[in-house]
C-alpha cells in the first residue's frame, strides 16, 4: 500500500491479483483493464477527481473496449489519459497501485465474497448511522418535554400580565414555544410540518404535541 496518511491511500492491485493467480498477477490486472465496464468506471472516477484528465482519449479507449484485439495496460492508461487513479511502478516493490476506490472495484471483480462483504458492511454502517440520528432526535424530544414545563411556568410567572385573556396568553406561550423549537431543532413547528407533512414528530406525538398540551393547560389557569 502507498499511504498518504489521509483518504488518498493507494492499494496494490498486484498483491490483490496474486490471490487469483500467484504466478502471473499482472495478467489478471491486464484482463481486468480490457473490460468496458472497467474503462467506464475508471473514466468516471477520473472525471470526479482529476481536472487534467483527458476525456477525449478516454472516449477512444471506451469505444475500443470489448473488441477481441483490445488490450490496455495500466501504464498506457495513465500516460494516454493523464490518469491519477492508477500508478505503475517498476523495480523492487513495484507493481500496479490504485486509489482505494478503484482497488475495491478490482477486488470485487476478483472475489464475489469480497463484493458481498462490502455491500453488507455498507448496509451495517447505514443502519448504525440511522440509529444514531434517531437517538439524537429522541434525546432532543426528551429534553424538550422536560424543559417545556419549566419554560412555560417561567413565562406565566414573569412575562404574562394578569389582565390578559386566556386567548391572549396562548399567543405568548406559542411564541416562546417556537423559540425553543428553533433553539432545539433549528425550525418552528410550522416549518417542520411543511417540510415533513407525512412524518410523525413536531406535528404529532413529538415535542409540539407536548407543548400544545402544556400551553392549553397553562392558558386556562
Dihedral pair phi/psi, residue 155, rounded to 5°:
-60, -45
pTM for the whole structure: 0.56
Please report which residue ranges of the chain form alpha helices under DSSP H.
13-18, 25-33, 36-49, 55-64, 74-81, 100-110, 112-158, 166-185, 189-195, 207-219
Among 182, 187, 176, 179, residue whose Cα is nearest residue 218 = 176
CA 164 vs CA 50, 51, 97, 168, 211: distances in Å: 66, 66, 76, 6, 20
Q: What averages of pLDDT result for each successive group of 10 residues across the chain (221 residues)?
A: 60 90 91 94 96 95 91 94 92 85 92 83 76 63 61 58 60 60 64 72 45 45 47
Sign of the CA dihedral 35, 38, 19, 4? positive
| 71, 39 contact by CB (below 8 A) | no
Dihedral pair phi/psi, residue 101, rounded to 5°:
-60, -40
Dihedral pair phi/psi, residue 3, rounded to 5°:
-95, 130
Query: What is the separation of C-alpha 218 from the centre of its chain, rounded to a whole number of angstroms?
Result: 44
Q: What pLDDT is stored for residue 33 in this prediction?
A: 94
Amino acid at each position: 500500500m502507498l499511504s498518504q496518511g489521509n483518504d488518498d491511500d493507494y492499494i496494490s492491485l498486484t498483491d490483490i491479483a496474486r490471490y487469483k493467480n500467484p504466478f502471473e498477477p499482472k495478467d489478471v490486472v491486464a484482463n481486468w483493464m480490457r473490460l468496458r465496464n472497467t474503462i467506464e468506471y475508471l473514466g468516471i472516477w477520473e472525471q470526479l477527481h482529476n481536472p487534467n484528465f483527458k476525456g477525449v482519449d478516454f472516449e477512444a479507449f471506451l469505444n475500443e473496449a470489448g473488441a477481441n484485439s483490445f488490450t490496455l495496460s495500466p501504464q498506457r492508461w495513465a500516460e494516454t489519459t493523464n490518469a491519477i487513479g492508477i500508478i505503475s511502478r517498476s523495480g523492487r516493490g513495484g507493481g500496479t497501485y490504485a486509489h482505494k476506490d478503484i482497488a475495491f472495484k478490482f477486488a470485487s471483480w476478483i472475489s464475489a465474497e469480497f463484493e458481498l462483504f462490502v455491500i453488507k458492511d455498507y448496509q451495517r454502517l447505514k443502519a448504525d448511522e440511522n440509529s444514531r440520528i434517531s437517538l439524537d432526535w429522541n434525546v432532543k424530544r426528551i429534553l424538550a418535554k422536560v424543559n417545556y414545563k419549566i419554560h412555560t411556568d417561567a413565562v406565566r410567572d414573569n412575562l404574562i400580565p394578569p389582565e390578559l385573556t386566556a386567548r391572549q396568553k396562548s399567543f405568548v406561550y406559542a411564541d416562546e414555544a417556537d423559540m425553543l423549537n428553533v433553539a432545539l431543532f433549528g425550525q418552528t413547528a410550522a416549518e417542520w410540518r411543511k417540510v415533513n407533512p407525512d412524518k410523525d414528530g413536531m406535528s404529532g406525538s413529538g415535542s409540539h404535541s407536548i407543548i400544545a398540551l402544556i400551553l392549553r393547560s397553562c392558558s386556562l389557569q
